[in-house]
Chains A and B, each alone.
Chain A
Amino acid sequence: MPTIEIRGLCKRFGKKVVLDGLDLVVPQGRNTVVIGGSGTGKSVLIKCVVGLLRADEGEIRIDGEDVTKMDERELVRVRQKFGMLFQGAALFDSMNVGENVAFALRRLRRYPERQIQDVVEEKLAMVGLRDIQHLTPAELSGGMKKRVGLARAIASEPEILLYDEPTTGLDPIMADVINELIIRMRESLGVTSISITHDMASAYKIADSIAMLYKGKIIEVGTPAEIRHSASPVVSQFVEGRAVGPITAEHEEFVRFVRGSGESGERKEQ
């Protein structure tokens, strides 16, 4: 079972620095929850981990193998260890739900065709859905899409799972079903995972450790209890969801700065 070790990870888009020397270690069989404000680069982080985005600097070791140095062919092999839930579910809209969930099973030929239906049914049941195999993604609600996306991610029984906001858009009861599922994946299957969430209740429940992403770096890692009582003003503002504090102070300054200089800045570009 794998560990994920990230050292000095940098990712830029043009001039915009999103990740700036990020370090994070996820021990095997553990779930690390990454929290952080909107647009701080949480999704970018897990896309770098599966090699969807190329890191500019730093290393990402999966079981000791550095994915940032791999070519596409090696990446294909390493990616088979992964399952990923996308923030927007990313279901294939040309296929129905059953075909979506069965996709990796058919590609990898893990099961004979007649067993696939049973596996699909089982995985859908795990996310609290039944009898929807024949529906197309367009016919699902947002929360249902999310859960089908989750069923698709766990279908091939990966060793590592990356959940991008698994409970966003779900009602509280369904959110808790998904929390239980994430815990079960870890406890009974020993899956190593990174979850991204804004939902602190969910974070406290599912996390072995919580890491806070702020300004391109992980500024604090700790157990849920440690994070809840963090001494850092940034972390405590975030976890308590206060409107006033260091995060928003800067934001206000930023807004004022943009409003003041935005127009002349734009003109310069043209």
Chain B
Amino acid sequence: MAKEGNRIGLNAALEKFGTRVFGMLEDLGNIFVLLLQCVSWVFRPPSEFRNIVKQMEEVGIRSMPVVLVTATFTGMVIALQSWSGFQRFQATSLVGSVVALSITRELGPVFAGLMVSGRVGAAMAAELGTMKVTEQIDALVTLATNPVKYLVVPRVIAATVVLPILVVFADLVGILGGYFVAVYLLGANSYVYINKTYQYLEFKDIYTGLVKAAVFGFLIAIISCYNGFIAQGGAEGVGRATMRAVVASSMVVLISDYFMTSLMF
């Protein structure tokens, strides 16, 4: 009897897993279709230039404070950690390099990506989801406007362009945060610190970080818009869409980061 029960439980679990996987594949396919639609609408008139600028302001200004705060503290904590670690083998002069490399290559873009997933991804999914469930997207269609062109294209372009800009600032304040902790709190030599920061930092470290950021921005926007578009059934549906958008885009940021890193270095 117990065995029988187990088997039924297992079957049910497998079935659930199967539906999940199918659902994910379906979403993936739909996002790809959405992407193709974006490409096919992007150059058709009328131009969405003003809309893009508005979205850039929205994405950039909304996320700038959180991105700056997280980047500063990330730089500071790396300085603190690597200082106490490197003390064990008298290598504290390298703290500057460690901070600069880890911020520009990884932590700047990744943390900015995660913060933007939370702020902008949620906002996009909630806004589009609300528009969907209150028939505003249908209304757009009847007013001679393609919703993908009007809503998705500007958001995707804006996020792709603005995220690298955010990361430039994140890199700067992160390195400054590390400098502040090392020099003023831990007593590192300012000249050595700056020197080491420059010495091992290559241009490639910075621009690969920015390329990552652009990819993150793109993925976050398209995933969040997709989740908004498929929202159904009132406030609860919008809430669910928002949650899915944030979870999915944060995961995709980390996953795509791994693959990009393995390709780039």
Contact = CB atoms under 8 A, between A and B. Distances in A.
A92 interface: yes
Nearest to B137: A90
Contact of A109 (B46, B130, B134, B140): B46
A47 B141 CA distance: 11
B144 A108 contact: yes
Contacts of A47: 138
A90 B136 contact: yes
Nearest to A83: B142
Interface stretch (A18-26, A74-82, A123-131, A172-180): A74-82
A52 B141 contact: yes
B264 interface: no
Contacts, number: 54
Q: State the 9 A-B residue pairs at the shortest beta-carbon distance, nearest first.
A: A90-B139, A90-B135, A104-B143, A84-B142, A52-B138, A80-B144, A86-B135, A90-B136, A103-B143
B195 interface: no
Given A107-B46, A109-B46, A88 B135 contact: yes
Interface in A131-183: 152-153, 156
A86 B139 contact: yes
B64 to A, nearest CB: 21
A156 B46 CA distance: 17
A137 to B, nearest CB: 10
A178 B185 CA distance: 73
A88 to B, nearest CB: 6
A82 B134 CA distance: 20
Interface residues of B, number: 16
A260 to B, nearest CB: 27
A80 B143 CA distance: 7
B44 to A, nearest CB: 10
A207 interface: no
Contacts of B145: 103-104, 107
A50 interface: yes
A82 B142 contact: yes
B136 A91 contact: yes
A78 to B, nearest CB: 10
B144 A88 contact: no
A4 to B, nearest CB: 15
B146 interface: yes
22 contacts: A50-B142, A52-B142, A79-B141, A82-B142, A83-B142, A84-B142, A86-B135, A86-B138, A90-B134, A90-B138, A90-B139, A91-B139, A92-B136, A92-B140, A103-B145, A104-B144, A104-B145, A107-B46, A107-B144, A108-B144, A152-B139, A156-B143
